[in-house]
Chains A and B, each alone.
Chain A
Amino acid sequence: MRPPALALLVAVGIVAAQTVDRTKPPQTAPIPAFKLPPAYETKLANGLAVELVEDARFPLVTVRLAFLEAGSKVDPPDLAGLAEATGTLLKEGTKTRPSKQIAEELAQIGGSLRGEATRDSITIGASALAEHAGRLLELVSDMGRNAVFPADEVKLYQQNQKQRLAARRAQAEFQADERFNALLFGSHPYARVNPTPEAIDKLSGGALAKFRDTYLVPNNAVLIVLGKLPARAGLLRQIEQRFGGWERRPLPARPAAKPPENKRRIALVDRPGSVQADIRVGKVALTRSDPDHFPLVVGNAILGSGTSSRLFMNIREKKGYAYQANSILMRYREAGYFSVITQVRNEVLGEAMDAVLAELDQMAQAPAPAVELSNIKNFLSGTFVMSLESQSSLADQLVLVKTMGLANNYLETYTTRVRSTEPDQIQKAAQKYIAPGDATIVVVGDASKIGEALKKLGEVEVTKVQ
Chain B
Amino acid sequence: MKQLLALVAAVALPLSAAGDFTVGFEKYRLQNGLRVILAQDNAVPVVAVYLIYGVGARSEEKGRSGFAHLFEHMMFQGSKNAPKGMHFQTVEANGGALNGSTHVDFTDYFEVLPSNQLAVALWLEADRMRGLNITAENLANQKEAVKQERRLTFDNRPYNTALVDRFPELAFRNWQNYHSLIGSFEDLNAATVEDVSKFFQIYYAPNNAVLAIAGDLRVPEAKKLVETYFGPLEPQPQPQHPDATEPGERSTRADVYRDPLARVPAVLVAWPGPQRRSPDYNAMVMLDLVLTEGDSSRLQQALVKGRQSVVRFEASLGYPFGGSSEYVDPGIYGVFLTHQPKVSGREVASQVEVEIAKIQKDGVPVKELDRARAQWRAYRLREMQNALNRAKLLAQYELLDGKPEWITAELDAFLSVTPAQVQAAAKKYLVPEKRVTLEIVPVPKEAK
Binding site for B on A (CB under 8 A): 1-2, 4-6, 8-9, 11-12, 15-18, 20, 22-26, 28-34, 57-60, 91, 99-100, 102-104, 106-112, 127-129, 131, 156, 159-160, 163-164, 166-167, 169-172, 272-276, 306-308, 313, 316-317, 320, 322-324, 343, 345, 374-376, 378-383, 385-386, 388-392
A251 to B382, alpha carbons, bound, how many Å?
36
| Most chain B CB within a 10 A radius of its CB, from A22, A102, A171 | A22
Given A11-B28, A375-B93, A385-B45, list of 19 further CB < 8 A pairs?
A2-B33, A5-B30, A17-B228, A30-B116, A32-B115, A59-B20, A59-B381, A99-B295, A110-B381, A160-B304, A170-B263, A273-B448, A276-B156, A316-B145, A317-B85, A323-B152, A382-B113, A386-B112, A391-B385
Q: Which residues of B contact A30 (CB under 8 A)?
A: 116
- Contact yes or no, A170 B95, CB < 8 A: no
Interface presence of B149 (CB below 8 A): yes
Kindly list chain A residues whose C-beta atoms are within 8 Å of the C-beta of B279. none
* Chain B residues positioned under 8 Å from A32 (CB to CB): 45, 114-116, 216
Cβ–Cβ contact A58 & B378, under 8 A: no
In the complex, 6 of the A-B residue pairs with CB atoms within 8 angstroms, ordered by the A residue number, are A1-B33, A103-B294, A103-B301, A129-B378, A275-B156, A375-B93
**Residues in A whose Cβ lies below 8 Å from that of B155:** 275
Select which of B158, B260, B378 is within 8 A of A128 by beta carbon.
B378
Tell me the B266-316 residues at the A interface (CB within 8 Å): 293-296, 300-301, 304-305, 308, 311-312
Comparing B175-183, B187-195, B367-375, B424-432, the segment that makes contact with chain A is: B367-375
A23-B207 contact in complex given A385-B46, A390-B385, C-beta closer than 8 Å: no
Bound CA span A307–B91, Å: 10
Which A residues lie within 8 Å of B149 (CB)?
323
Kindly list chain A residues whose C-beta atoms are within 8 Å of the C-beta of B262: 167, 170
CA–CA, A378 and B90, complex, Å: 11
Task: Name B152's contact: one of A91, A107, A324 (CB within 8 Å).
Answer: A324
Write out the residue numbers on chain A whose beta carbons fall within 8 Å of the beta carbon of B295. 91, 99, 102-103, 106-107
Q: B300–A103 contact, CB under 8 A?
A: yes
Q: Are B43 and A169 in contact (CB under 8 A)?
A: no
Closest-by-CB residue of A relative to B113 is A382
- Whether the Cβ atoms of A160 and B374 lie closer than 8 Å is no
Question: How far apart are B115's CB and chain A's nearest CB, in angstroms?
Answer: 6
Q: Within the complex, what minimum Cβ distance (angstroms) separates A340 from chain B?
A: 16
Known A25-B120, A167-B264; contact A57-B338, beta-carbon cutoff 8 A:
no
Assign chain B's interface to a size class: 35 or more
Smallest Cβ-Cβ distance to A323: which chain B residue: B148
Contact B95 A380 (CB under 8 A): yes
CB–CB A170/B261 < 8 A? yes
Knowing A5-B31, A31-B95, A380-B95, say if A129 contacts B156 (CB, 8 Å). Answer: no
How many angstroms between the C-alpha atoms of A381 and B155 in the bound complex?
Answer: 37
Most buried by B among A160, A382, A385: A382
One digit per residue, 1 when the CB lies within 8 angstroms of any chain A CB and 0 when it does not, for chain B 138-176 equals 000100110011011001111000000000000000000
Please report B residues at the A interface, Cβ cutoff 8 Å: 14-16, 20-21, 28-31, 33, 43-46, 81-82, 85, 88-90, 92-97, 112-117, 119-120, 123-124, 127, 141, 144-145, 148-149, 151-152, 155-158, 207, 216, 220, 223-224, 227-229, 231-232, 235, 238, 260-264, 293-296, 300-301, 304-305, 308, 311-312, 338, 340, 370-372, 374-375, 377-379, 381-382, 384-387, 445, 448
Q: How distant is the Cα of A297 from the Cα of B377 in the complex, in angstroms?
A: 38
How far is the CB of A163 from the nearest CB of chain B, in Å?
A: 5
Shortest beta-carbon distance from B157 to chain A in Å: 7
Q: What CA separation (Å) do A112 and B45 show in the bound complex?
A: 28
Q: Are B116 and A273 within 8 A (Cβ)?
A: no
CA distance A376 to B151 in the complex (A): 30
B89 to A159, Cβ gap below 8 A?
Answer: no
* Contact A163-B311, Cβ < 8 Å, known A5-B29, A58-B21, A273-B445: yes
Q: Which residues of A contact B370 (CB under 8 A)?
A: 108
- Closest CB-CB distance, A310 to chain B, in whole Å? 12
CB-CB under 8 A from A112, the residues of chain B are 294, 378
Residue of chain A at shortest CB distance from B28: A8
**Chain A residue contacts of B381, Cβ below 8 A:** 58-60, 110, 129
Given the complex, which residues of A lie within 8 Å of B43, measured CB to CB? 57
Q: A106-B296, A111-B378 are in contact. Are A17 and B231 (CB under 8 A)?
A: yes
Residues of A within 8 A of B261 (CB): 170
In whole Å, how far is B143's beta carbon from the nearest beta carbon of chain A? Answer: 10
> What are the nearest 10 A-B pairs in CB distance?
A382-B95, A110-B378, A103-B295, A375-B93, A103-B296, A107-B371, A5-B29, A390-B385, A26-B119, A110-B374
- Decide: A392 near B263, CB < 8 A? Known: A17-B232, A382-B113: no
Contact of A1 among B81, B93, B216, B238 (CB under 8 A): B238
Chain B residues whose CB sits within 8 angstroms of the CB of A107 once the complex forms: 293-296, 371-372, 374-375
Task: From the candidates A12, A100, A392, name the one contacting B223 in the complex (CB within 8 A).
Answer: A12
Bound-state Cα–Cα, A392 to B301, Å: 27
Known: A16-B227, A18-B228. A31 touches B374 (CB 8 A): no
- B90 proximity list for chain A (CB < 8 A): 25
In the complex, the answer to whether A8 meets B377 with C-beta atoms within 8 Å is: no
Contact indicator B263/A386 (Cβ below 8 Å): no
The answer to whether A389 touches B46, judged by C-beta atoms less than 8 angstroms apart, is yes
Q: List residues of chain B with CB within 8 A of the CB of A159.
A: 308, 340
Q: In the complex the two chains form, is B44's CB within 8 Å of A388's CB?
A: yes
B15: A residues at CB distance < 8 A: 129
Partner of A104, one of B21, B33, B148, B296: B296
CA distance A16 to B381 in the complex (A): 36
Pick the contact of B93: A163, A308, A320 (CB < 8 A): A308
Contact between A17 and B374, CB atoms less than 8 A apart: no
B338 in contact with A167 (CB, 8 Å): yes
